[in-house]
Amino acid sequence: MDQLIARLGQFWKDPQDYLQISMAIQALDTRYALFKKLNKEPGVAEIIEQMAGRLAHSFERLSDIKNKKILDIACGSNTSKMPGSIHVNTPFGGISLGGSRGYTALFEPWFCRMLFELGAKPFGVDFGDLEKEVFEHKRVDLGEPDALAFLLKGSFDAIQDSRLFGSPEFTAQFPDQADRLKVAEEIVRQEKRLLKKGGIIIHSDAMDLLKVED
C-alpha cells in the first residue's frame, strides 16, 4: 500500500497534498480492507490511480476538493459483476485483466469513497447496491428516461460519469449501440443541466462515446 501512496503522491507537488492523499488511502484501508483487496486483485490499484489522476487534472490542490459537491454517475457498487476480461485505461497506460464473471472489488465505488475521505461531498448513483456506503447515494437505473431528473439544476461543483458503457450489466440491457448512444445523449444533457456555472466535468464516458460516433 505504501507503493500506491507514493505513486498517487506524484500527482501533487505540495507536501500537504501528499499527506492528505496518504491519510485518505489509509482511511480506505481501515473502512474497506483496501490492502487485502489490492493483494487479491491488482487491478484495484490501477483503478484508484486512474481516479486520482483525474482529480489531479481537475483540481490544482486537494484542498480545493473540500466541501465540493461532486456527482459520480454509474459510481460502481458492491454488487457489480466483472466480465470474462476487461481492459482498464490508467494514467500509466492500459492494462488487461482476466477474471470470472463473479463479484469483483474493481467495480466498487472507489471514486466516491476517495472523495469522501478527502473531505468532498460526493453523491453516487448506480443500479447496484450502495446501502452501506458512507457517502450520499441513490439507486438509479440510468437506462430509464429522465433517470436523473430528481436532481436539482446547477447543484454540483463537479461531475463524472465513468465505466457505465463498458459494464456487462449495461451492455446486456442495451445490446444495440443505437440505444446506448441515446443513453449517452441523455447523460450529457443531464450533466450540462446539473453542473453549476463554472463547474468541472472531471470525466465523461458519455461525451467521449458521442465524440467517437460523430
Domains in the chain and their CATH numbers? 2-213 (3.40.50)
Is 83 within 8 Å of 27 (Cβ atoms)? no
Confidence at residue 214, expressed as pLDDT on a 0 to 100 scale: 63
b/e map 24-61, b = 16+ CB within 10 Å? bbebbbeebebbebbeebebbbbbbbbbbbbbbebbee
On average, the pLDDT of the chain sits at 88
Confidence category of residue 42, pLDDT binned at 50, 70, 90: confident
Which pTM value belongs to this model?
A: 0.88
pLDDT in tens, 72-103: 999 999 887 655 444 444 443 444 444 444 56
52 contacts 94 by C-beta, under 8 angstroms: no
